[in-house]
A and B are shown apart, each in its own frame.
Chain A
């Protein structure tokens, strides 16, 4: 309820400021589009089907890039979290590469993978992998040894310890890591699509700049925000359902 009210209030303030600017001419009205203008751009793009195409292209890139990163992070995270020699070998490399801002490598991805889909997907995979990997490994390493002892004294084999204790105990941390990774995917898709893309929400935003259409820029940004919060909401709901036992206190 409060959330809905806050949203409405934000829209009202935006409308008031942009329309006020229009009548006062404080700055060129084109630079500060009104909500109506933004909706008009969205409607006209939706009419010829291109809005749908841009949304689909971006979603697919996010899904592929994030999905690939999630699978890799899970596999490698489990290996490193459960097998100490692997951790000792992998950790230094990760810690060396991780602090480099991913955007610094974006041009390399274009050089390696060209202007097609591969470079975008690969870039999202690269960016979202590290935080997910680190989060997954940490939550596996944090599993309480007492829980493992309890299960072992009830007769659990190594495989049963993994399936019946390690996975459920680490699950909350793993889910949070995946959610973080997804948020990041939405964050970096824009950058990936700024450079040499011919479709996608990032491309739409860039096009708005090139053809000097601020309303289109704002619309692209808002769509990304809405898309991100919708998916995040879904993930949160799934998380609450799966981790019901934690919230009951």
Chain B
């Protein structure tokens, strides 16, 4: 077993080995992912970039254990996964909050399942509420929140469960530019302390270069790995440094080639 559960810091290694995925629609099988092999190191933050529909969410769903791959396998710390588990936290593209629970209850959902004592749950919840800037909204229900607020609750809910691996599907997609930068800084700060293993899907190349240890660019659908860029920048990054913008334009060029294919 990996380091599971609340309070556990540190990451775990994720190996994606020759993963294929096909979906069957009207009796015809269409490939969505072709031969994906990736190794995400313990404590590494890996960003996935690629045109819409290339299979990023599908890959995340497979690693999360929600979908079985058609071929290949996924290992966590050397053992094949058999389904979802609390050591792999998920931030969904569509938030997926529990609508009958308040913001605070959503965040403490995981710790409470694990039997964490109530007092400790309150501490954890307060800490993550503060982190995502929603302390004032703790007793609201999801229907009362804006899209960006829901997204921040979803992030807090995943992190409050202290997973060693976090799978994040466009977690900042619904945020305004300012909040987004604050959240990026917050995530990179957490990462410097906790060294989680993170797979982070985004459409923002700037965001990827700011956060990632490696950026993986996927081809248009069916998704393959097109190119992998190790980002050799200091831990605290300056978005205006020449090296930063160099990575940005380099990756933009590669992503554009693939996005152009979608519109051919």
Contacts and interface: CB of A to CB of B under 8 A. Distances in A.
A245 B64 CA distance: 29
Interface in B32-49: none
Given A155-B5, A246-B99, 13 more contacts: A146-B92, A149-B84, A149-B96, A150-B90, A151-B98, A152-B65, A153-B65, A154-B109, A154-B110, A154-B157, A154-B161, A155-B4, A245-B100
B84 A165 contact: no
A157 B84 CA distance: 10
B123 interface: no
Given A149-B90, A155-B86, A248 B144 contact: yes
Nearest to B98: A147
A155 B85 CA distance: 6
B83 interface: yes
A169 interface: yes
B89 interface: yes
Nearest to A165: B98
Nearest to A244: B141
Contacts of B85: 153, 155
A156 B86 CA distance: 8
A168 B102 CA distance: 13
A155 B86 CA distance: 4
B149 to A, nearest CB: 14
A160 interface: yes
A155 B113 contact: yes
B66 interface: yes
8 contacts: A149-B66, A149-B84, A152-B66, A153-B66, A154-B113, A155-B113, A164-B113, A245-B142
Contacts of A155: 4-5, 85-86, 110, 113-114, 161
Contacts of A3: none
Quick one: which of A144, A150, A165, A249 has the most chain B CB within 10 A? A150
Contacts of A154: 86, 89, 109-110, 113, 157-158, 161
A144 B99 CA distance: 11
Contacts of A151: 98, 109, 113
A40 to B, nearest CB: 50
Q: How large is the interface on A (under 10, 10 to 19, 20 to 34, 35 or more residues)?
A: 20 to 34
Nearest to A149: B66
Contacts, number: 75
Interface of A: 144, 146-147, 149-157, 160, 164-165, 168-169, 171, 243-246, 248-249
B76 to A, nearest CB: 13
Contact of A246 (B5, B88, B110, B143): B143
Tell me what chain B mostly uses at the interface: helix, strand, loop, or mixed. loop
B156 to A, nearest CB: 12
B88 A153 contact: yes
A69 to B, nearest CB: 26
Contact of A153 (B90, B97, B101, B114): B90
Nearest to A156: B113
B186 interface: no
A151 B114 CA distance: 12
Nearest to B143: A249
Interface in B9-27: none
B84 A153 contact: yes
B235 interface: no
B94 interface: yes
A118 B251 CA distance: 78
B100 A169 contact: yes
* Chain B CB within 10 Å, residue with most, of A154, A157, A243: A154
Nearest to A150: B96
A154 B161 CA distance: 7
A243 B143 CA distance: 12
B96 A160 contact: no
Closest 4 CB pairs of A and B: A155-B86, A154-B110, A152-B84, A245-B141
B100 A153 contact: no
Contact of A248 (B86, B143, B157): B143
A150 B155 CA distance: 12
A248 B66 contact: no
- Of the candidates B66, B85, B89, B92, the one having the most CB atoms from chain A within 10 angstroms of its own CB is B66
Nearest to B167: A153
Nearest to A157: B113
Given A149-B84, A153-B89, A249 B114 contact: no
Contacts of A169: 100
